Amino acid sequence: MDNKTIYRKTLGFSLRRLFWDFFSIVLVLGISTLGFFIAEKVWSKGLIGLAIGAVVGLIIALIVLRFVSYKLKAGQIAMMTRGITEGELPDDVIGEGKRVVKERFLTVAAYFAVTGAIKGIFRQIGRGITRLGESIGGDTGGAIGGAINGAIQTVISYLSDCCLGWVFYRKDVKAGKATCEGAVLFFKHGKTFIKNMGRVALWGIGSLVIIGGVFGGAIYLILSSMSGLLEGFYNEVAELFAKSSDAGNSLVKILQDPNAVPIVFAVIGGLLIWGFIHSVFIRPYVLVGVLRNYIESGKDEVPSEESFGALDSKSKKFKKLHDSL
């Protein structure tokens, strides 16, 4: 079963996550608007009410999405893993994905409990690369090391999903041990790591240029044509941030320049929309390819205790996790 077929058959999980993402946006906007009108009527400080409402809405949305999205994400990765390792998927992919996650709920919960430690391990290693660059080449070396570290952090999110795929593949092994095996695989197969970094970077940059560029340009054109109508809003925001901080003063200067405002909001809006669309539609396709490279690099040579020991020496956090198994 090729990557496109697996992606197409598991896209339903992404579409359901899109629905919940849209619901969360409506929820945040609704609560923010309510806060604005209440604060405007009571204190004549609508922006403060808007900010409070946004915070409350975000907290509620994050609680809902954390539970729902985790289940959908786990089900999608479980079905991607099955398509890669078994070469076929059931007719009811969504139903089977839900069943597998429900059946292995404790395993998935255990995975999400240890994945934070796994991310910490690679952040630690990434910081080590930055420090090494600084020690070798000063500011230039630090910049190069920082760039490498940034690329590693981007791949880490895919690594976490691949680790979960490995947990589903190694269904007879406890989640903690399977996750450690997945972490070892990441470093054991350098060519796979480089191949995955290239795939992630190319798709990420390509989608950013196309999606971010199109929507950023559209936002710029809209705001440019409405600059007069939005002048009052800009002034209110500027007044709110005027005495807050250096960052607030910088924002005031931007808002006072009618030519700069559309550009700033277009860049921010383009990035936000790109991140939203990329995560729902593009990232799952990239993940199928990364997951295939990842699993195929390890299924014929499952990491041993000796391999664990090699990574123990590179990360205290990994050693602590390993010792707890």
| Two structure tokens written together for 45 | 């400080």
What is the structure's pLDDT at 5?
95
Residue 41 lies in a domain: yes
Q: How far apart are CA 129 and CA 146, in angstroms?
A: 8
Q: Residue 141, Cβ neighbours under 10 Å: how many?
A: 16
One pLDDT digit (tens) per residue for the chain, 325 residues: 899 999 999 999 999 988 888 888 888 888 888 888 887 777 766 777 888 888 888 888 888 777 788 788 889 999 999 999 999 999 999 999 988 888 777 666 666 665 666 666 666 666 665 666 556 656 565 566 666 666 666 667 787 788 888 888 988 887 677 777 877 776 666 566 666 667 777 888 888 899 989 999 998 888 777 665 555 555 655 565 555 555 445 555 555 555 677 787 788 888 888 888 888 899 999 899 889 988 888 877 788 777 777 777 766 667 777 777 7
Q: How far apart are CA 99 and CA 93, in angstroms?
A: 10
SS3 325: coil
C-alpha R_g of the chain = 23
Q: How far apart are CA 295 and CA 229, in angstroms?
A: 55
Residue 87 lies in a domain: yes
Residue 151 lies in a domain: no
Residue 43 lies in a domain: yes
Q: How far apart are CA 126 and CA 259, in angstroms?
A: 39
Q: At what angle do helices 190-207 and 283-298 cross, to 10 degrees?
A: 180
Cα 166–Cα 114–Cα 275 angle in degrees, nearest 5 = 75
What is the structure's pLDDT at 317?
66
What is the structure's pLDDT at 126?
61
What is the structure's pLDDT at 127?
65
Residue 29 lies in a domain: yes
DSSP letter (8 states) at residue 89: -
Query: Could you tell me the residue range of the domain that residue 97 belongs to?
Result: 1-103
Residue 13 lies in a domain: yes
What is the structure's pLDDT at 14?
92
What is the structure's pLDDT at 180?
77
Q: How far apart are CA 14 and CA 287, in angstroms?
A: 12
Q: How far apart are CA 33 and CA 38, in angstroms?
A: 9
SS3 304: coil
Number of structural domains found in the chain: 1
Residue 311 lies in a domain: no
Residue 47 lies in a domain: yes
